[in-house]
Amino acid sequence: MKLLGVTLASLGLASAASVSNKQKVSYDEWKVFRVNGPSNTAKFQEVVNKLQLDVWKGKPSSGDVVDVSVAPEQLAAFEASTKDFETKLMHENLGASIADENTFSVYAAGAVPNATWFNSYHSLADHYQWITDLAAAYPSNSEVISAGKSLEGRDIKGIHIWGSGGKGSQKAVVWHSTVHAREWITTMVNEYAAYQLLTSTDATTAAFKNKYDFYIFPVVNPDGFYFSQNSNRLWRKNRQTTPTASCIGRDINRNWPHKSWNQAQGASTSPCDEDYKGPSAGDGVETKALKAQLDSLAAGKGIQLYMDIHSYSQLWMYPYGYTCSGTLPNSATYASLTKGAIAAVKAVHGTTFTGGPICNTIYQVSGDSVDYALENAGTKYSMTVELRDTGNYGFVLPANQILPSGEEMWAGLAYLLKNMT
């Protein structure tokens, strides 16, 4: 990748997604590879470190599947270093894949939202307008809300939806998405759920609204999302400064002030790493706002369900993230709900998800929102998902998969809403 004619490798930066420079990053001729369970994990970790590869999925030291992006100038060295590993090409030209994905449709402000919204990805400004228009179309049981301001002064904008009992009369259901800026499909899927709640006329959906108050936040990391759309498509973190001047951002999902923030495993202490947890627990501007909003709901009617929506890997998970040995007191109920949700997802388009506790299913995570929601905010059910796909496209999921992703995820969420007690 070139940045005004200067390669990242020559700058000695940790990875493309760590760059703090605001100038547009090009991924033309970059490739994305899947490395299938390298048996020599020490050697593969050395390759990742030496070439400063951006890891999309997996842990290089784990022996599991790892997806990495490779710059043109790194390609020969990567291929030579991995000739003994089994690899699969995911993106022949990442820049071309991004260009296809970035064909945003024109949105007419003030229109009544309809299903054509889910035919393409959209700019942050259009997402904000769409939320406003959706609430305006259904004023008797929805309103625009904000969890607060981001570092750069953007609203963490959401929509509050309620039923016949009036707003604020029921326990809360809270859905967050786009915590990690590059996970664009999560924004669309969360909005699809909000759209279904307000536009569906069936008795089952009406019952959901009458039973719960929904607080849906499609973009909880607006600065990072804006940066991923305008400067670096693969940006993950927020845009807050760090003790290392050349590296920007905290991973909001490692920054929550849960007791696990202080533990050594589950997050990085290096400001240049993608999972950097920040210099102190809960110091992220967006983390503070989201925590305050969640705590406020907990202090009110309470929270029935918290869901943190991510991509990719097709996983449906529940606590704990911070420990692989702890077992939830109601783990059997979680396992049953997860099994049912996964079956509901598969019944729509045949998409297969895998379920289980976070730490045992994907990897150990500390300072995460799911554990905070459960153990600090007293949420009855706290879950997270990783949406499509499992490695064909990764973060750069084609727009023609937006609608099916929304349809299947809505089926899974509806199963939870119908069956959790």
Residues known to be catalytic? 386
Q: How far apart (Å, rounded) are the C-alpha atoms in residues 69 and 335?
A: 34
- Those residues whose C-beta lies under 8 Å from the C-beta of residue 399, and which sit 6 or more positions away, are 100, 101, 103, 119, 120, 121
Residue in this structure with the two tokens 């969360």, named with its chain if needed = 190
Structure tokens at 124: 């942050």
Task: Say if CB 52 and CB 67 are below 8 A apart.
Answer: no
- Answer for the pair 133, 161: CB distance below 8 angstroms, yes or no: no
Q: 128 is written with which tokens?
A: 């904000």
Evaluate whether 46 touches 84 at the Cβ level (below 8 Å): no
Report CA torsion sign: 114, 116, 119, 122.
Answer: negative
Evaluate whether 151 touches 240 at the Cβ level (below 8 Å).
yes
3-class secondary-structure state, position 304 = strand
Alpha helices in 23-155 (DSSP H): 41-51, 75-81, 94-101, 124-137
Cα gap 377→383, rounded to integer Å:
13
Buried b (16+ CB within 10 A) or exposed e, 158-170: bbbbbbeeeeeeb
Q: Give burial (CB, 10 Å; 0-12/13-18/19+) of 53.
A: buried
Cross-sheet strand order for the sheet of 142-149: 142-149, 155-161, 212-217, 171-177, 303-311, 381-387, 315-318, 354-357
